[in-house]
Structure 1
Amino acid sequence: MQINLSGKTALITGASGQLGRVMARTLAACGANVAIHYRGNAAKAEELKAELEATGVRALTVQADVTKLDEVLAMKETVKAGLGAVDIVVANAVIQYQWTSVLEQAVEDYVGQFESCVLQSVHLAKAFVPDMIAKGGGRLVGINTECAMQNFPTQSAYVAGKRGMDGVYRVLAKEVGEHQITVNQVAPGWTISERDREAGTERSESYESTVPLKRRGTDQEIANVVAFLASDLASFITGAYVPVSGGNVMPAI
């Protein structure tokens, strides 16, 4: 048994970023053609495109502000013209900002998290779900966070955005399930990325001490779960919030 995405087209938002590029490589390794979305890092997106094409899959880069519906709709048309209708959408892009207390956090940061978590999810659904319905199936995978269950100090804007995203995804799962479209979320813990490896910052004893598996997860471990949920192996899983955090958070029944 293996994850086989041959013949599928995947779009990953924020694919030029630390976690996004590993997801792109992983879905491509499973046989998917990949649309690499970026907002500002065109050079990294083009570098990733060349890397994926060298493995034998088709790839393209596409620029868009995912907080703007008209740009997401235009992105859909670009990807459809270049790779065909999208089968798999991975919502990974998010606006970065400096975390601080509720009393000190700028209101604009809450707006930014709402736009990049909630509105991105809505825009991607409006753009890509109709073609999935026409094809009789599809996969939407949203990248959430363990923070949505932790609610620690200074996390408020991020948690607000991601918990809003969670609501959209759960409702959408019920609305489109009859079309064999699955809607799931992957919730990483504090993940080791290429940046950590380059800087030698993979370890954090204070964080690791709280994790049952006593370590931080890796970007590849997150991407593996995304690939699973994008595949036919997960055809009867929808509406799920799946922590990939070494047991650091555990949804209760």
Structure 2
Amino acid sequence: MALNLTGRIALVTGATGELGRVMARTLAACGADVAIHYNSNEAKASELQAEITATGRRAVIVKADITNQASVLAMKDTVTSALGDVDIVVANAVIQYDWTSVLEQSPEDYRSQFESCVMQSVYLAKAFAPAMIEKKAGRFIGINTECSMQNFESQSAYVSGKRGMDGVYRVLAKEIGKHQITVNQVAPGWTISDIDRANGTERNEGYEKSVALKRRGTDQDIANTVAFLASDLAGFITGAYIPVCGGNVMPSI
């Protein structure tokens, strides 16, 4: 068996980010054509596009504000025109902000997380689910976080946004499952990415002590799980929240 996505078209939001770029490369390596969404880093998007097209896959870059429905719908039109109907939607983009306590966190930070986690998920579903319903096939994959289960100090805005996203995805899984569309979430732990490799910060003993596997995962670990959920091998998995964190958090039954 292989993760064969040949003939599929994937959209990765936030594809120029630390995790997003590895997801885009991995989906392309499995055979998918890729729409590379970016918000501000056009240079990185173009670099990633060149890298993917060099492998023989098609790739298009598209700028959009994932917190604005009109912008998301325009992104859908651009991608559909360039590549065709999207089969795989990976909701990876999120607004970055400085974490602090509930009492000190700006209300705007809570709004930004709601817009970039909950409303992005809603807008992507409204834009891309209709074509999937018509084809009776498709994948929605949301990037959540282990923080949704941890609820540690200073995480409140991020956790509230991602928990809201979780609610949207679980309900969406039930609503469109009859059309053979799966809706799942991948929840990374504190993941090693290019910025850690450049700074030599891959190790963190304090964090690693709480991880069952006693190490941090990598961006490729996250991308591998996304590719699996995008494939036919995961055709009977939907409504799942899958931590990819070495056992740092474990959903209970």
The TM-score, its normalising length taken from structure 2, stands at 1.00
Structure 1 residue 145 corresponds to structure 2 residue 168 = no
Aligned partner letter, 1:138: G
Instruction: Name 1:203's counterpart in structure 2.
Output: 203
Structure 1 residue 76 corresponds to structure 2 residue 51 = no
Distance apart, 1:240 and its partner CA:
0.1
Instruction: Name 1:164's counterpart in structure 2.
Output: 164
Instruction: Name 1:130's counterpart in structure 2.
Output: 130
Q: C-alpha distance in 2, partners of 1:17/1:50?
A: 16
Q: C-alpha distance in 1, partners of 2:212/2:37?
A: 35
Distance apart, 1:107 and its partner CA:
0.4
Aligned partner letter, 2:18: Q
Q: C-alpha distance in 2, partners of 1:231/1:68?
A: 29
Structure 1 residue 111 corresponds to structure 2 residue 123 = no
Distance apart, 1:156 and its partner CA:
0.1
Instruction: Name 1:219's counterpart in structure 2.
Output: 219
Instruction: Name 2:31's counterpart in structure 1.
Output: 31
| Secondary structure in 2 matching 1:60 | strand
Aligned partner letter, 2:61: T
Distance apart, 1:76 and its partner CA:
0.3
| Secondary structure in 2 matching 1:36 | strand
Task: Give structure 2 stretches of 5+ with no counterpart.
Answer: none
Q: How does 1:182-193 map to 2 (within 5 A)?
A: 182-193=182-193
Instruction: Name 2:15's counterpart in structure 1.
Output: 15
Structure 1 residue 194 corresponds to structure 2 residue 194 = yes
Instruction: Name 1:244's counterpart in structure 2.
Output: 244
Q: C-alpha distance in 1, partners of 2:224/2:97?
A: 27
Instruction: Name 1:176's counterpart in structure 2.
Output: 176
Distance apart, 1:85 and its partner CA:
0.1
Q: C-alpha distance in 1, partners of 2:8/2:77?
A: 17
Q: Per-residue CA shift, 1:34-57, capped at 9, x if unaligned? A: 000000000000000000000000
Q: C-alpha distance in 1, partners of 2:200/2:60?
A: 32
Distance apart, 1:175 and its partner CA:
0.1
Q: C-alpha distance in 2, partners of 1:197/1:24?
A: 19
Distance apart, 1:239 and its partner CA:
0.1
Q: C-alpha distance in 1, partners of 2:233/2:103?
A: 45
Which ranges of 4 or more aligned residues in structure 1 deviate by more than 3 Å?
none
Distance apart, 1:206 and its partner CA:
0.3
Distance apart, 1:204 and its partner CA:
0.4
Q: C-alpha distance in 1, partners of 2:135/2:79?
A: 16
Distance apart, 1:203 and its partner CA:
0.5
Task: Give structure 1 stretches of 5+ with no counterpart.
Answer: none
Aligned length: 253
The TM-score, its normalising length taken from structure 1, stands at 1.00
| Secondary structure in 2 matching 1:55 | coil
Aligned partner letter, 2:102: V
Aligned partner letter, 1:231: S
Q: Per-residue CA shift, 1:56-112, capped at 9, x if unaligned? A: 000000000000000000000000000000000000000000000000000000000
